[in-house]
Structure 1
Amino acid sequence: MKKRIFSTLVLVLSLFLCMGVSFAGEAIKVGAGQPITGRFAFAGKHIHQGLMDSLSYANEQGGVGGMNFKYIYEDTGYDLKRAIASFKKIMAQDNPVMMYGESTGVGKAMAPEINSRYHVVYGSTSFSEELADREKNPYTFVSGPTYSQQFGVLLKYIAAQPKKNNKPHRVAFFYSDTEFGRDPIPFARQLAKKLGIEVVAEEVTKVGAVDITSQLLDLKRNKPDYCIFQGYVVPPIPEVIRGAKDFGLDIKFMGTFWAMTKMLLDKLGPDGEGYMGVSPYSYWYMDEVPMIQAMHAYSKKHHPDVAYRPSSYMQGWFTGMIYVKLAKLCNEAGLPITGENLKNMIPKVQNWDTGGLNGVVSFADSNATATGKVYKAQGGKFVAVSDWIKLDE
C-alpha cells in the first residue's frame, strides 16, 4: 500500500515538473532568446536589460508568493534558426513558465508548438496583430498595442483634429515592403474609411531605401495633411521629411513605435521639430510618471552611470511587469504558477494601473493593450499631445 502511494506521489510530482510548475520558495523561471548582438542589437540589448531589470525590481519588491523570478537568457544574434534553437534549448534544460522571443518571425514559427506542446506564456519584441489574436495564439501577448492598434490611435487622434476648409483629413501611408511594414495597412484602410479620413496615397519602399524621389513626387501630387510611417526605424524617414520640406509640402509626419525614438530625433536634428507619433510608453525623461520615478531609483542604485534609457528598454521593462502581473493573479487565485494558468490570467488583466508607464491597461478583446499616447517632438524630446487613447473605446 505504502509502495503504491509513494509511486503515485512520484508520478504526480513528475507531471508537475513536466508542466513547469513554480512552487512556493522556488524560482519563477523566465526564459529569453534576446537579440543582444546582430543587426537588431541597437534595440535588443536595451530590451534585454529592461526585462532583466524589471524582474530584478520585482524581486526587490518581494517577488510573488514567496518566490523570486529567475531570468535565463541566450543571445540569438537576431537569427531565426538560432533563436528557435535557443527557445527549444531553454525549454528543454530549464522548463520556464514564461518565454521571451526576439522577433515576429520566432513567435509565428513557434506558435504551433507553444500552443500544443510547450504551453508557455510568450512575449516578444513584436507588436504583430496575428500574435495578439487570442483565439489563434492564447499563450502569446504583445507588450502594448499592436501595429494596427497603433495606427488606430493615430487615426483616431487625426479624426479629432480641426479640418482644413471643413474637408476630410487627407492621409498618406508610407511603409516598407516587409511583413513589419504591411502588417497594419488593411486595418488602417478600413478604420480611416470609418472615421471619414481619406487615404490619398500609399508609398511603399524597401527597408532603408535611399532613392525616394518617386514617393516624394507622389506626395506632392496628392497633398496629404498627414503621412504615417510604418516598418522603418530610421531611414528613409529623415530623407522623406527633408525632401518634403524642399518641395514646400505642408505635411505632418507621424510614426509608430519603432519610429518614435531618440535615435531618430538625433538623426533628424532640427528637421525633427514637430514630428509626431504614437508610443505605448512614457519616456525616460518624464519625471512626473510614478513608474519612471521607480525606474530612476532602481537605475541610480544598480546602474549609476546610466543617464538615459531608450524606448526599447521601456518595452523590456513593461514586458517584465506583465509577467509579474500574471504571476500575481495566479497567486491571488490560489493557483500554481504554470504556463496554462498564466495564459488564463491574460484576459483577467483589466483596468490595471501601470504607474503611468502604459496608462490603465486591459487585455480586452485580444492579447494586446489597444492603448497608446500621441507625442510631438519639441527641442529634441517627445512631449505628450494627447492623453492615453484607447482604441476600443
Structure 2
Amino acid sequence: MKNFAKLAAAAVVASVVAGAAVAEGLYTPNLSYRTGPFAATGIPLMNGQKDYMAMLNARDGGVGGVKIDFEECETGYSTEKGVECYEKTKGKAIVTQPWSTGITLQVLPKTNVDMIPILAPGYGFSPMMDGKTFQWAFNMPSGYWDGADMILQFLASEGDLKGKKVAFLHLDHPYGKEPLPLLEAKAETMGYELLPIPVGLKEMQNQSAQWLQIRRERPDYVVMWGWGAMNAGAITEAVKTKFDMSKMIGVWWSGHDADLAIVGDKGKGYKSISWSFPDASSGVMADVKKYVVDAGASQSNETEMQGVFYGRGLVMSMILAEGIKVAQEKYETAEINAEQLRWGLENINITEERLAELGMSGMVAPFSTSCSNHTGNSGGWMLEWDGAKFVKVSDHLVPDTSAYADIVKAKAAEYAEANAPWAVNEACEG
C-alpha cells in the first residue's frame, strides 16, 4: 500500500498545479440535539465530537489533507425531525449519525437503499452487530447487549444472581427497550427475576410512581437505562428514598457527571458501565486545547471537558476519522464516497499502539471490525461515582457475545424478513 500521506500531499499539489479547486471537505453531518428534554446529555457529547473534528482540521488540515465538514442538523431528539435531517443531508453525506435509537430504526431501511453508512457508536439497534445482514450500519465499539451482558457479569461477580430480583428502570422508548431481549433470556439462564419499570417521556422529571414501586418491590438491584432528564430524575429519587446507591447501575448513557453532581456525596457508590473513559491529561486533550479551545472555537467549558460524555464525544469522532483514513488508504484517494467509507468502517483496527499514536490510551479499549461484525465488542469498564467524579472500579470487562449470538442472528433475520426485499452482503463469510 502506498504511503497515503504522500499520496494526499501529491493530490493537493496536482490540483493546485492544474488550477483546480481543492476539495471543499468530506461531508459528515451529525443529527445533533442541543435542545429539548435530552439536551443536558446531548450537548457535552456534541461538543466533544465537534471539537475533535475541529482539532483535526486545524492541526492536520482534516483527514488525508481534506477537511471534515461536520455540520450539525438539530433534531431535539425527535424521530420525525431526525428523519427530516436525514433526508436533508443525505444528498452529499458520506455518513449519517442519527443519535437516537428511534431515528436509527427509521433511517436504517433507507440507508440500505441510499447506500449511506450509519455510524451509531454505542447505540442504535443491537442486531446491527450482524454486518452481513446490516451491511450499512455500525454501532462500534460496543452495543447495548454488550452493555447489558457486562452489567450482569459485574453483578454476578458480587454474588450469585439466582433468586435475586433485578428492577429494570428504563425510558419507555425504543432506546430503553433495546436490552430487554437479552435481559429476559439471561433471567432464564441465570435465575433472577426481571422487573421492568418503564418511565414515560412525560414522567422523566417526576418518577415518584416508579420509585414507590421500587420501594414496594425491594429489588436487590436497579439497572437503569435512562437518558436526558430521566437520569437526574432517577438519581434524585433514589437518594430521596434512601436507596442503596451501590446497588444501582446504569448503562453508559446513564453515567453523566452533571447528573450525579446534583446529589454529590449522596450519590457515592452509583455505577455505570462504560466503553469510554475521560483523561484530561491525555495527548488528544492537549491538542484540543491548543488548536480549538485556545483559538476560541469550542462551545465547551473546563468542567464539561473533564467529564465522561465530552471524552466519549472525542472517541466517537476518532472512530469516524479512523474509518475515513482506512478508506482513503484502501482506495488511494482523499475524497472518498459513502460506499468507500462503508468499507473503511468495516475494516477498522484500533490497537493499543494506534491509541497511543492518537493520544487516547485508556480512553477506549482496543477493538476491530469486519464484514461480519459491525460492533467490535470492545468491552469497557465499570465506573463508580466517588462523590465528585467517576472512577474505574473494574478491570477491562469483555462481553460474552457467544451467550447472545443466536439472539443477534434471529433478530437480524427477523428484521430482514419484515423489510423484504432486504439486500445483504452475500460475499461476507464468518
Instruction: Pick the TM interval, shorter chain.
Output: 0.7 to 0.9
The answer as to whether partners of 2:168 and 2:197 remain within 8 angstroms in 1 is yes
The percent of aligned pairs where both chains have the same amino acid is 20
Q: Would you say 1:301 and 2:300 are equivalent positions?
A: no
The match for 1:46 is 44
Which letter does structure 2 place at the counterpart of 1:228? V
Query: For structure 1, which runs of at least 5 residues remain unmatched after alignment?
Result: 1-22
Q: Which residue of 2 aligns with 1:17?
A: none
Does residue 319 of structure 1 match 2:316? yes
Equivalent in the alignment of 1:121: 117
Residue pairs, 1:69-218, within 5 angstroms: 69-92=68-91, 95-117=92-114, 119-124=115-120, 127-128=123-124, 129-142=126-139, 144-161=141-158, 171-191=166-186, 193-194=188-189, 196=190, 198-199=192-193, 201-207=195-201, 208=204, 209-218=207-216
Say if 1:301 and 1:91 are closer, same or farther in 2 by CA, change over 3 A: same
The question of whether the paired residues in 2 share the 8 Å contact of 1:299 and 1:306 is answered with no
Which digits, 9 at most, give the CA deviation of each residue in 1:354-393, with x for residues without a partner?
Answer: 4222121223654224222101111321110113322147
Q: Is 2:254 aligned against 1:259? A: yes
Pairing 1:331–2:328 present: yes
CA distance in 2, matches of 1:24, 1:333: 21
TM-score normalised by structure 2 residue count = 0.73
Q: Give the number of the structure whose residues are more often strand, by fraction.
A: 1
> Which of 26, 32, 35 lines up with 2:33 in the alignment?
35
- Secondary structure at 1:211's aligned position in 2? helix
Alignment correspondent of 2:366: 360
Does structure 1 retain, via aligned residues, the 8 Å contact 2:41–2:256?
A: no
The Cα shift of 1:101 comes to 2.1
Q: Deviations over 1:260-286 (max 9, x none)?
A: 111221222332011111122113xx3
Q: Say if 1:61 and 1:389 are closer, same or farther in 2 by CA, change over 3 A.
A: farther
Residue in 2 aligned with 1:10?
Answer: none
How much does 1:125 deviate? 7.3
Equivalent residue in structure 2 for 1:278, among 233, 258, 273: 273
Contact map agreement 1:227 1:251 (CA 8 A) in 2: no
**Aligned residues of 1:201 and 1:218 also touching (Cα < 8 A):** no
CA distance in 2, matches of 1:205, 1:49: 28
Is the Cα contact below 8 Å between 2:168 and 2:222 reproduced in 1? yes
Question: What TM-score does the superposition give when structure 1 sets the normalisation length?
Answer: 0.79
How many residue pairs match? The answer is 357
**What is the rounded CA distance, in whole Å, between the counterparts of 2:341 and 2:196 in structure 1?**
40
Find the counterpart in structure 2 of residue 227 from structure 1.
222
**Residue identity in the other structure for 1:273:** K
Evaluate the alpha carbon distance shift between residue 291 and residue 188 of structure 1 in structure 2; reply closer, same or farther with a 3 A threshold: farther
How far did residue 163 of structure 1 move? 5.5
Residues 53 and 317 in structure 1, CA contact (< 8 A), matched pair in contact too: yes
